[in-house]
Structure 1
């Protein structure tokens, strides 16, 4: 999503649902920059293409409070997308059907998945919130992972692998995520990066130029399909142990 740029995000969505995945279920991360613009604005603009697909487009919010994102935030401005919640916004655009018990089910071309930070308590709160609004639970799919089980995540040790820069036709593009529905934790570094050793402390600088790499402490580990440094886990542990000593 990031490679398509913030300004071209709607065209990235259009390409994904019409050219790359014209049929079947496709889930798209939708909070890269502004989830409500995607879930409310882009969804309405792309409605003809979405309804023309033979399959379901599943919007994926991936930041913020899952309960409030899905069910609505009572503290948000009245009648705003955030106040209504993601499911209610999609219902307003696509409509759907009503079950025998009176619960609303979204049109089969759209749905939601929340795969981030779902605990059992949050899942129960989301289902209760949907029930209170007369919305069926099958409109939303939950991701079941570390938050539901052992609660040890990639963030436990601050470890994640993300792209920050790419080139298309020789032109560089900064790749980054800065969700408006987040508190800043998921805002990523962008562009070319440099790690510097300043008085024994490693510091990160982003949005660099290639000519600024002279004092960079990073080493090439993988390049052009080749593994350049093949460290064993024992070597990595020994290096960390020596540094901590």
Structure 2
């Protein structure tokens, strides 16, 4: 396995080789299809799950990163050496054909619903078709890589639903809906499995929000979705920047935060539970109160331990007693000069519970921002929305045939059949999956239904290059 000429000791080139970005058994599949097979059609869907609708996002990242660069002879040599040593057959002739006939670009067509679309589960979201008889199997070979779109879709879906939860709380208790995009901040960078996960998941969160500390996610959103700056952050303390002063000098650490960052119009976040949250709240409301007011900025207190619902209310009440509050048009209290950010134990359930408890206690949702880490980017998996990619049609000779699985042991794994597309009713926005060719009444088609899938990739070329701005507009077009 130390074959330098084939690059098997170069992990960077291995990880960027599309032929190796698959499952081992895929290498043998070209020998397993009917000998007369000449084209293949596969699709991706969410077969249900935690949420009844998914927000489609992330395919453009995968296509730009993995499919817009050509296969090279060196990649083929590398893959051949690997699979031979690995115990799998290797379709060298097929891959050489791609290089010779297509310049290394994969002759596949990918169609998808526009990114930012919110689609009910059990509908086709992506289709992959290869109609070159020499390499028809590509439509399935790409499954491993393409199905990873489950991750940005699931992150984007969860954040979109959380946006609806927070929006409802603001509508009930606040006079200011403009703060919504900054109400759920991404704290997830350290809790994911890789830098790539931070980039992909962090970008997905930004479809619904504009606050993030996951630098790679913001960089990815900027790069892959044509943004200048997709999200923003503020200076904030961590425990080390407070505890390094020593317990007896915690007040000095707090005062330093105000001196460094407390400017008119600025926001400064200070973690305050290093030792005794309640003693810290007392210091903020007495010894440091005037410094907070004089700074002209907004102080954000971060309690970071204890039962989230209980601690948030205790913190709000303590700050209300010292800094005061103003009654808004909804009859709820909005703290003067201070806010709270809750970044511990934050998940969909705790967010809803905290907002409900705040409202019951008479506090507006204005008073809190949530920081969400592991639950945002890591505590999901492919089964959260039960994503699958399946072959649904194969051409044998000149004729297309339906393909499906229908396990007697699990009806939920039944796949769809035929060459599929997604329709959208132009009046109601309703979606439905149907088969190609579109055999329907032409008048009905013109008046009611449009094909919702667009060709985004064809033979090495990205045909749609959408911006995050447009995706956000599509995802939130029906709010309010």
- Structure whose CA Rg is larger: 2
TM-score, normalising length: structure 2: 0.28
User: Does 2:249 match 1:8?
Assistant: yes
State how far apart, in whole Å, the 2-side matches of 1:100 and 1:151 are: 38
Deviations 1:70-97 (A, max 9, x none): 12xxxxxxxxxxxxx1001101111121
User: Among residues 226, 247, 258, which one is paired with 1:17 in the alignment?
Assistant: 258
8 Å contact from structure 2 (residues 262, 292) kept in 1:
no
Alignment-derived partner of residue 26 in structure 2 = none
Deviations 1:213-243 (A, max 9, x none): xxxxxxxxxxxxxxxxxxxxxxxxxxxxxxx
State how far apart, in whole Å, the 2-side matches of 1:30 and 1:58 are: 10
**Over aligned residues, Cα RMSD in angstroms?**
1.4
8 Å contact from structure 2 (residues 262, 268) kept in 1:
no
State how far apart, in whole Å, the 2-side matches of 1:6 and 1:22 are: 22
Alignment-derived partner of residue 98 in structure 1 = 327
State how far apart, in whole Å, the 1-side matches of 2:355 and 2:376 are: 16
Which SS does the other structure have where 2:372 is aligned? coil
Alignment-derived partner of residue 128 in structure 1 = 356
State how far apart, in whole Å, the 1-side matches of 2:304 and 2:361 are: 22
Alignment-derived partner of residue 88 in structure 1 = 317
Shift of 1:42: 3.3
**Which has the higher relative contact order, 1 or 2, with Cα contacts under 8 A spaced 6 or more apart?**
2
User: Does 2:289 match 1:60?
Assistant: no
Shift of 1:145: 2.3
| Structure number with higher helix proportion | 2
Which SS does the other structure have where 2:339 is aligned? strand
Aligned residues: 137
User: Does 2:273 match 1:31?
Assistant: yes
| 5+ long unaligned stretches in structure 1 | 72-84, 153-245
User: Among residues 143, 152, 158, which one is paired with 2:371 in the alignment?
Assistant: 143
State how far apart, in whole Å, the 1-side matches of 2:262 and 2:360 are: 35
Shift of 1:133: 0.8
Shift of 1:149: 4.4
TM-score, normalising length: structure 1: 0.54
Deviations 1:5-35 (A, max 9, x none): 00010111112202x1131111011111111
